[in-house]
Structure 1
């Protein structure tokens, strides 16, 4: 766990904040997923969770974010998806609903290293707790569905946008956050400033069109 995360969590716990709604979570686990715009490759060093009971779950997710790299520069990385997918991630088992997410990641097209704390509004937990009737086209059935997936889309410039979504429910946008640059660089300075290489498809797109800053 990084010093940045330790400091953030300690400040949060010392504040004496207590989550007012103590209703139980209506499912065993929730999903934490990450995506990135077309070609805008991301490496997530660590995503750490603080739940509503103030329990810390370090390294709940790490690795690559879900991304598309259509050939011949035919993709479009500008802007956000209207209906974001579930992303690449993991079920956060044992945790209650999320209250804070600390993310440290590398934006490989720049390249740059960012870190941020996403403070989820209290309404987020209410949305994730609420069951809704939904028709699932995949099996043609009406079910009670929950928005039990938290999807974070990471873009160059340190921008993140967060949605909650369910299997058969419309995604709901939660928050947009801008991270800060970590001057130590990748891996907290342990790689000598060296980033992983981009794929050929991403290199070709960035060479031709650049990075569409301002679209996110």
Structure 2
């Protein structure tokens, strides 16, 4: 084959590149303990350069962990906000309503340079049924506990939750006529029996 034609083909086909693709899409997702529904209404994200940011409402109800007293489970991507940018987050602001105890919390969370470095680190790893290359830990997962504790995890398509740190949110005063959505019958029955524990998440 003509060497110039080969060079042209290599430029067109990404598999010929020896350099890993730069991380240019990432997510901020949320999860609540099973039965302890969280209603997230505000998510603000400031870029690491602090010159701009993104705003999005995550969802009415977050995804649940596998067990009420833990953060096990892989349900994390469909309850998130996707950002297409090579700039990574510097600050996150989140406000959510805990339906189990009818409280509202808010918190500004600083994303450290260490976490951003972990997000940018390339891993030559494939997984899943289609053996896809998913080389980045590109999802920041916020575990929202009903006592206001936030567990900040890092994960990705081929990576399980890795706890980075925990931070306590503060209670937010809602307007007097605010009506909290009802829990499902199953969740309400569980909360009625077990209550809303604190300090276990």
TM band (smaller chain): 0.7 to 0.9
The CA deviation string for residues 157-206 of structure 1, in whole angstroms up to 9 with x for no partner, is: 111111111111243222211100112x2xxx2x7132111111111101
The aligned counterpart of 2:61 is: 64
Kept in 1: contact 2:30–2:141 (CA 8 A): yes
Q: Which of residues 31, 36, 40 in structure 1 aligns to 2:36? A: 40
> What CA distance in whole angstroms lies between the structure 2 residues aligned with 1:192 and 1:59?
24
Distance of 1:97 and 1:60 partners within structure 2 = 19
Q: Compute the RMSD of aligned alpha carbons.
A: 2.2
1:195 to 180, 184, 197: 180
Deviation at 1:26, TM superposition (A): 1.9
Q: Is the 8 A contact 2:142 2:151 kept in 1?
A: yes
TM norm structure 1: 0.75
Question: Match for 1:204 among 189, 193, 196?
Answer: 189
Q: Secondary structure, in 3 states, of the residue corresponding to 1:131?
A: coil
Runs of 4+ in 1 over 3 A off after TM superposition: none
Contact 2:123 2:135 in 1 (8 A): yes
Q: Return 35-44 or 193-202, whichever deviates more.
A: 193-202
Of 22, 26, 43, which aligns to 1:26?
Answer: 22
Paired residues in the alignment total 179
Contact 1:149–1:165 (CA<8 Å) still a contact in 2?
yes
**Structure 1, unaligned runs of 5 or more:** 1-24, 69-74
SS for the counterpart of 1:145 is: coil
TM-superposed deviation, 1:76: 3.5
Give me the TM-score of the superposition, normalised by structure 2: 0.80
Q: What is the aligned partner in structure 2 of residue 102 from structure 1?
A: 93
Paired residues for 1:169-180 under 5 Å? 169-180=159-170
- Equivalent residue number for residue 21 of structure 1: none
For residue 135 of structure 2, give the secondary structure of its aligned residue in structure 1.
strand
User: Quick check: which has more Rg, 1 or 2?
Assistant: 2
Give the gaps of 5 or more residues in structure 2. Answer: 1-20
2:71 equivalent to 1:80: yes
